Chain A
Amino acid sequence: MTPVPSFPLFTRLYRFFSGRRLTLYAATALLIALGGAALRNIELREDIESMLPDDTSDVARDFRLLQSAPFTRKIVITLTGGPRTEPAELLATADRLAKALPSPDIVSVATGPADPGGGFLPALARSLPGLVTPGDMTTLEAWSEEGNVGSRLRDSYEKLLSPEGWALKGAVRADPLSFHTLALEKMGTLNLIPNMRLLEGHFVSADRKSALVIADTPVPITDSKGAGRLLDHIARQTAASVPPGIKASLVCGHRYALANAEGIRRDLYVILSLASLAVLSIYLFYLRSLSAICVFLVPGAALVIASGVIATVSKNVFAITLGFGGVLLGIADEYAMHVYFSCRKGGDRLAEVIGEISRPVLFGGMATLASFAVMLVSSLPGQRQLAVYTMTGILASLVLSLVVLPHVIRPARVPGPPAQAAAGLRLPPPRRWVVAVWLLLLAACLWQSTKIRFNGDLRSLSLVPPELREAERELSETWGDVRGKAILFSGGKDLDDALAANDRLFRLLSGRIPEGQIVSLAPILPSRETQIASLRRWSEFWRGGRAARLAASLQREGNSLGFSGNAFAPFLASLEEAPDVRTADDLRAEGLGEMIDSLILRAPGSVQVMTLVPDTPEGIAALARDLGSLPGVRLVSPSRFGDNLGMTIRKDFTSYLLLTSLMVLALVVSAFRRPKKILLALVPVVTGLTAMLGIMGMLGIDFNQFNIVATILIIGLCVDYGIFMVCKVTEGSDHDADRAILVSGLTTLAGFGSLVLARHPAMHSIGLTVLLGIGFGITAALLVVPALHGRGSA
């Protein structure tokens, strides 16, 4: 009989510790205790940034830009009255709520615009020379013509005599022909909410049935704990301030964060309870021994050790790493399971059995380690941390399973039933049928897998409760399409540099997007260079006698209306002056600060100026092409962001798959060296992956970021199954590999596959992937590998 290949190191280790068990147990307990102690000071981050690239890629940059836009952090509360609600009651409610809301988490609340002050119109008139375009000059030319001067001046005169004119004298002296209306029209490009109107200084909807309360918070959207505190506060104040008959509806990013955190918590509670029951039932049914409890303890101990290591080496530990990684490490029971079944049958040869079993267990473990190692190069910080975490856990599990566990397992007194009988596989199905069905399934799944789509839309992974979806719909219906905007970031080393890029962008957009659909600073705050050009245009326009002619016209027309000779001296002087370039600070001084600062984003060493345009796929695609000629401008559209993230996922997936496949192949080749054995070992992983991709493609289920991690898990586990089975069927190993595979596979399916029951889309998709991949992988390991091997099968 050919000796079973083994690693004698573990035989020697077993013998070494046989006389020093207390030392071994103490060292193990100390290691676990140290891991637990390191967890005491752990600070968890519950934000989504763990699943977003943190490198210099386009997707990472786009996301950071989107996150930093000032208006994305707003809390928007819509108050909607019933049919009998008077507008006054609605506005009073808005004010009451606005007074109640301020707290450490809400730094400012607005129910209406800031008061721009009485000097607004004269300031607007003064700003005109720096803002005029060639088109404006044509308008001014018409307004300055002899016939028009009279009628425009009469308008001003009559305004002065009307009740509104009691405070207009200064404005008429500075701008008798109302040139400021040109600048006023330019300010229309600053309106961010299409259906918003003003009613008694309050933001109201066009139908006046809804009022708007907008709040600012320093709580980051990605902080679900802070979001919970913030939303509780808003809910309490809303309940106290809003009377029955008026409905308050809240939309803000924090609601999504909290809904997701709560959804995951709820799902985990239900699923972990169910999964634990299922796993316990599997253990009780298949293991039926007190020492089996130790098998159950190995993944738990590995979890504590890995958590302690990650808490020690990582500054920020993502909650998702511990949560998802914790579930991942549940799979680490397969090594312990393998060792357990072999040791139970080991009898007097326990030391030798450990050496024999260590070979498939180590190769399996290394294959899983190699699978997770590829995530170390991920652009997602959460995936990198997950890789370190799971690899540490798997290493711990391997050491505990091969070095410690054999000492606590008592060999069975009576040899157990034949493995397949115990596993319930009393009669293997006909070999040809198995191979035929397997080939058919592979072919069908391979064909269907071409239909798989990679979805980068983060919203599709987000749990949006019906009430939040309804609030979003109402927001859009009441205020117009506020959220469906693409943002163009014009960047520069300083504000003026960014404004120059913004000017070039506005000129490009003006010809392509209808007026009124662009939100931009360019018309009201152009760059210094553009303003100098406008000022030159303005000065040249009034040169050559035009100013003198206008002065004469004003004198004549003014005289006939009774104006004194120097009535318009400030205006005429302004035509002769060389006006200064206006800065953002000038606009702030005139009460427009909050308005312009909402579109300016500052970072050390750079400034971005934002422009908003409708986010329509055709428009954005065309715009993206045109932007090639505009350096310094970056387009970030929520729809394109999803596409870009999808591309990143596809790229990551392809490179992971390639890297993992190469590493796993190298391991399997070094383990078996013979083509037949190598191909056999790969059967479960190929089957699992092809079935997973094929069925997802057939059912139209998109592939997302979470599926990547799940795929790596499938590769790692299925390769283990392949290695265990090949060792068993080709090397004469009499260990209960198939029983270990079946039981550990069932526990994985119970733990992981049960995620398919989750309501949270991300968890559901992980569960589905694992269910398909592992389910088919196990079946292939238990049925197809022996069937393909033929006569050598056990």
Chain B
Amino acid sequence: MRRILGTVLALALAVAGPAFPAPAPGDPEPAGAPASLLRRLELAASGVSTLASDFVQEKHLGIFKTVVTSRGRFHYQKPDRLRWELREPFASGFALSGSRGRRWHQRTGRTESFDIRQDPIMKAVSDQIFAWANADFAGLGREYRIRILSENPVSLRLEPLSAAMAASLDHLRITFSPDGRFVRAVEFHEKDGDFTRIRFVDTVVNPPLGPDLFR
């Protein structure tokens, strides 16, 4: 089905109009945030080469009777390795190394490979996670207006710049650890007031991580 979607998206084919974005204006200064603070975060993150952390995801959504909480484990290795593993209430997840990845699902028993270059959804997801982990404010600044909510610990509010994204996402809230080396929590706030919060707990900075984790 993904291939159909991919192919279908390509149907514009011989007819598609200009599909490449307008020339990037370079790396803009993130609007609304003091550059010094963001540089401090980037500097702190630059000393991080691996991360291992548990996470707790809370879905504060109107479609659920109560807050739905799920738990899992997150691993990151600079520059492009990632493992996102949901353990409760069901086991599923994905591992990514470079552009190639694998996703699995325990209930269905299905495991499949993917390539983020051909999977726009997974690319969007992994790009977001890498941007937080790397404190890539140049990249984030191209998509969001960044405002500082607090400085100690640093908490940022990211408002989408594009109308398409703004149609569903009101803002992101990202809170960093006190030393600014990693993200402590991320919140996705929707237009209707619903939000999803992911808290990273028991985070270990620069642990040794085997390559098998990302396969």
Contacts and interface: CB of A to CB of B under 8 A. Distances in A.
A197 B64 contact: no
A245 interface: no
A161 B92 CA distance: 10
Nearest to B7: A191
B10 to A, nearest CB: 5
A110 B63 CA distance: 40
A118 B13 contact: no
Contacts of A74: 14-15
A95 B20 contact: yes
Nearest to B196: A166
B92 A158 contact: yes
A160 to B, nearest CB: 7
Interface stretch (A5-13, A199-207, A308-316, A457-465): A199-207
B14 A193 contact: yes
B35 interface: no
B86 A564 contact: no
Interface string B68-97: 101000000000000010100110101000
A279 B64 CA distance: 95
A113 B63 contact: no
B125 A166 contact: yes
B190 interface: yes
Nearest to B69: A161
Majority SS of interface residues in chain B?
mixed
Contacts of A193: 10, 13-14
A562 B89 CA distance: 12
How many chain B residues sit at the interface, stated as a range, is 35 or more
Contacts of B167: 118-119
A108 B17 contact: yes
A114 B18 CA distance: 7
Contacts of B123: 200
Q: Which size bracket describes the interface of A in this complex?
A: 35 or more
B23 interface: yes
Contacts of B90: 158, 161
A113 B10 contact: yes
Contacts of A112: 10, 16, 19-20
B15 A71 contact: yes
A197 B68 CA distance: 37
Nearest to B123: A200
Contacts of A87: 117
A199 B18 contact: no
A70 B15 contact: yes
A188 B7 contact: yes
B40 interface: no
A196 B10 CA distance: 8
Contacts of B65: 559, 562-565
B13 to A, nearest CB: 5
B9 A113 contact: yes
Interface in A107-124: 108-119
B164 A117 contact: yes
A597 B121 CA distance: 27
Nearest to B169: A167
Contacts of A70: 14-15
B194 interface: yes
A173 B63 CA distance: 8
B125 A170 contact: no
Contacts of A99: 20, 23
B71 to A, nearest CB: 10
Nearest to B84: A163
A498 B63 CA distance: 43
A594 B125 contact: no
Interface string B113-151: 001011011110100010000000000000000000000
B17 A114 contact: yes
Q: Kindly name the residue among B16, B23, B125 whose own CB sees the greatest number of chain A CB atoms within 10 A.
A: B16
Nearest to B66: A562
Contacts of B16: 110, 112-114, 214, 594-595
Contacts of A114: 12, 16-17, 19
Contacts of B176: none
B169 to A, nearest CB: 7
A158 B105 contact: yes
A661 interface: no
B10 A185 contact: no
A763 to B, nearest CB: 33
B168 interface: yes
B24 to A, nearest CB: 11
Nearest to A559: B65
B194 to A, nearest CB: 7
Interface stretch (B25-33, B45-53, B54-62, B202-210): B54-62
B188 interface: yes
B13 A203 contact: yes
Interface in A143-171: 154, 158, 160-164, 166-167, 169-170
Contacts of B121: 164
A192 B64 contact: no
B64 A110 contact: no
A690 B169 CA distance: 82
A567 B64 contact: yes
A187 interface: yes
Contacts of B17: 108, 110, 114, 594
Contacts of B105: 158
Given A87-B117, A166-B188, A198 B9 contact: yes
A598 interface: yes
Contacts of A548: none
A188 B13 contact: no
B213 interface: no
A161 to B, nearest CB: 5
Contacts of B94: 163
Contacts of B92: 158, 162
With a 10 A CB-CB cut-off, give which of B10, B165, B167 has the most chain A CB atoms.
B10
A184 interface: yes
B68 A161 contact: yes
Contacts of B14: 70-71, 74, 76, 192-193, 214, 598
Contacts of A196: 7, 10, 13
Residue with the highest number of chain A CB atoms closer than 10 Å, among B20, B63, B107, B165: B63
Interface string A593-618: 01101100000000000000000000
A98 interface: yes
B10 A111 contact: no
B7 A198 contact: yes
A190 interface: yes
B117 A113 contact: no
A301 B118 CA distance: 68
A565 B194 CA distance: 16
Contact of A191 (B1, B8, B122, B169): B8
Contacts of A562: 64-66, 68
A5 B68 CA distance: 115
A170 B10 CA distance: 24
Contact of B11 (A161, A169, A192, A199): A192
Given A95-B20, A198-B9, 15 more contacts: A71-B14, A99-B23, A108-B17, A110-B16, A110-B17, A160-B61, A164-B121, A187-B11, A190-B11, A196-B7, A197-B6, A197-B7, A200-B123, A562-B68, A592-B11
Interface of B: 1, 3-20, 23, 57, 59, 61-66, 68, 70, 84, 86, 89-90, 92, 94, 105, 107, 115, 117-118, 120-123, 125, 129, 164-165, 167-169, 188, 190, 194, 196
Top 8 A-B pairs ranked by shortest CB distance?
A598-B15, A567-B63, A110-B16, A187-B8, A200-B117, A190-B11, A71-B14, A112-B19
13 contacts: A109-B18, A112-B16, A115-B164, A163-B94, A166-B196, A190-B8, A193-B14, A198-B9, A563-B63, A564-B64, A592-B11, A594-B12, A594-B17
